C-alpha cells in the first residue's frame, strides 16, 4: 500500500503536467485505454471468462467511477495537488453516509463523530479555494470524493456477488474508455507529441501499477491497516506539490487535511 500511495501521488503529478496540453476528458480516456490494453490481453491469455451475469452492477460501478475520475482530474488541474488529492480522499466519509442511506447500516457514535470532524476538515480545506475564486474546482474535487464513495459501494456489492477483482477493474476501464470516446466525439482532440507523450504514459503506467499494488495489499494484508496506509497518498502528494510547484501549506490547510485523514481512517474502521 505504501508503493501504491507513492504511485498514486506520481499519477497526480503526471495529471497536473499533462493538463496544460489535454482536457480532463482526454486524460481520463488515455488512462483507461491503458488499462484496457493491459488487462484485456492478459485475461485473454489466461483464458479468463469475460462474460458476467452482473452487468448492471458493473455498469453502475463503472459510470460512477468514470465520473469520479473526470471530476478528480479537473480538480488536480486547477487546484494545488495536495488539496485536490485530499478532497478525493473524502470518499470513505461519503461511503459511510451512503451505507446508512442505501444499505440502512447503523453508524456508531465514534463513526458519527468522525464524519462530523471530516466534514469540518472539508470546510477548512475549501475556505482558501473559495477565497481564491476557485470554487468550481473545489466543488468538483468534493464531487469526486462523493462519486468515488458511491463507486466503492458498487465494488462492495460486486465483491459480495463473487465477481473477481480483475473483471471489476477491466469493465471499469472499458466502460470509461467508451464513455470517453463518446464525449470526445463532441470535443477537439489535442495532438500527442514527443513533449507531452511522457506525462500521458506516466498516467497510464502509474495508475495501473498502483491499482495492482493496492489490490495486492488488500488481498494479502489486513484490510484496515491497508485502508489507513492509503492516506499516505495525501502526504506524498503534498511533498510533490511543495517540491514541484512550491504549493503553500498554511496551518488552515494542514488542519483541514489532518481532520479529513483521521476521520477517513476512523470511518473506514466502523
Low-confidence ranges of the chain (pLDDT < 50): none
pLDDT for 104: 82
What's the structural domain count of the chain? 1
Residue 28: name the closest of 74, 77, 70, 85 by CA.
70
Report how far residue 90's alpha carbon sits from residue 119's, in angstroms, rounded to the nearest whole number: 8
- H-helix or E-strand spanning residue 170: helix 165-184
Query: Distance of alpha carbon 267 from its chain centroid, rounded?
Result: 17
pTM of the model: 0.91
Retrieve residue 193's grid coordinates: 507529441
> If you search the block for the grid coordinates 495486492, which residue do you land on?
216
pLDDT for 181: 96
Question: Contact, 101 vs 155, CB < 8 A?
Answer: no
Retrieve residue 169's grid coordinates: 477493474
Reported as a single tens digit per residue, the pLDDT across 192-243 is 999 999 999 999 999 988 888 887 777 677 766 777 888 899 999 999 999 9
pLDDT for 139: 94
Question: Contact, 31 vs 203, CB < 8 A?
Answer: yes
Report how far residue 169's alpha carbon sits from residue 39's, in angstroms, rounded to the nearest whole number: 8
pLDDT for 214: 81
CA dihedral angle for residue 91, residue 92, residue 98, residue 103, rounded to 10 degrees: 140
Question: Contact, 124 vs 255, CB < 8 A?
Answer: yes
Domain coverage including residue 206? 2-268
Query: Backbone phi, then psi, for 133, in 5-degree steps?
Result: 60, 35
Neighbours of 66 (CB within 10 A): 24
pLDDT for 270: 59
Residue 89: name the closest of 223, 251, 199, 227 by CA.
227
SS3 readout for 19-52: CCCCCHHHHHHHHHHHHHHHHHHHHHHCCCCCCC
Report how far residue 203's alpha carbon sits from residue 224's, in angstroms, rounded to the nearest whole number: 27
pLDDT for 250: 86
pLDDT for 138: 94
Residue 35: name the closest of 163, 160, 215, 162 by CA.
215
Residues belonging to the chain: 270
Amino acid at each position: 500500500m505504501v508503493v501504491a500511495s507513492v504511485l498514486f501521488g506520481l499519477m497526480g503529478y503526471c495529471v497536473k503536467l499533462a493538463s496544460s496540453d489535454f482536457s480532463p476528458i482526454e486524460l481520463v480516456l488515455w488512462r483507461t485505454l491503458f488499462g484496457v490494453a493491459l488487462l484485456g490481453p492478459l485475461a485473454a491469455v489466461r483464458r479468463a471468462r469475460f462474460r458476467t451475469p452482473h452487468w448492471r452492477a458493473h455498469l453502475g460501478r463503472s459510470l460512477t467511477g468514470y465520473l469520479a475520475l473526470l471530476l478528480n482530474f479537473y480538480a488536480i488541474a486547477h487546484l494545488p495537488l495536495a488539496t485536490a488529492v485530499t478532497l478525493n480522499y473524502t470518499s470513505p466519509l461519503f461511503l459511510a453516509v451512503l451505507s446508512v442511506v442505501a444499505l440502512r447500516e447503523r453508524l456508531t457514535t465514534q463513526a458519527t463523530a468522525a464524519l462530523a470532524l471530516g466534514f469540518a476538515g472539508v470546510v477548512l480545506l475549501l475556505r482558501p479555494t473559495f477565497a481564491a475564486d476557485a470554487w468550481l474546482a473545489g466543488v468538483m474535487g468534493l464531487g469526486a470524493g462523493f462519486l468515488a464513495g458511491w463507486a466503492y459501494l458498487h465494488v462492495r456489492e460486486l465483491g459480495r456477488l463473487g465477481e473477481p477483482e480483475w473483471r471489476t477493474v477491466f469493465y471499469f476501464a472499458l466502460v470509461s474508455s467508451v464513455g470517453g470516446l463518446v464525449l470526445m466525439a463532441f470535443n477537439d482532440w489535442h495532438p500527442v507529441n514527443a513533449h507531452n507523450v511522457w506525462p500521458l504514459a506516466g498516467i497510464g503506467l502509474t495508475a495501473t501499477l498502483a491499482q495492482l499494488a493496492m489490490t495486492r495489499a488488500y488481498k494479502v494484508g489486513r484490510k484496515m491497516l491497508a485502508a489507513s496506509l492509503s492516506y499516505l497518498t495525501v502526504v506524498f502528494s503534498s511533498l510533490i506539490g511543495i517540491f514541484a510547484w512550491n504549493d503553500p501549506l498554511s496551518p488552515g490547510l494542514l488542519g483541514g487535511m489532518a481532520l479529513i485523514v483521521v476521520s477517513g481512517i476512523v470511518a473506514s474502521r466502523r
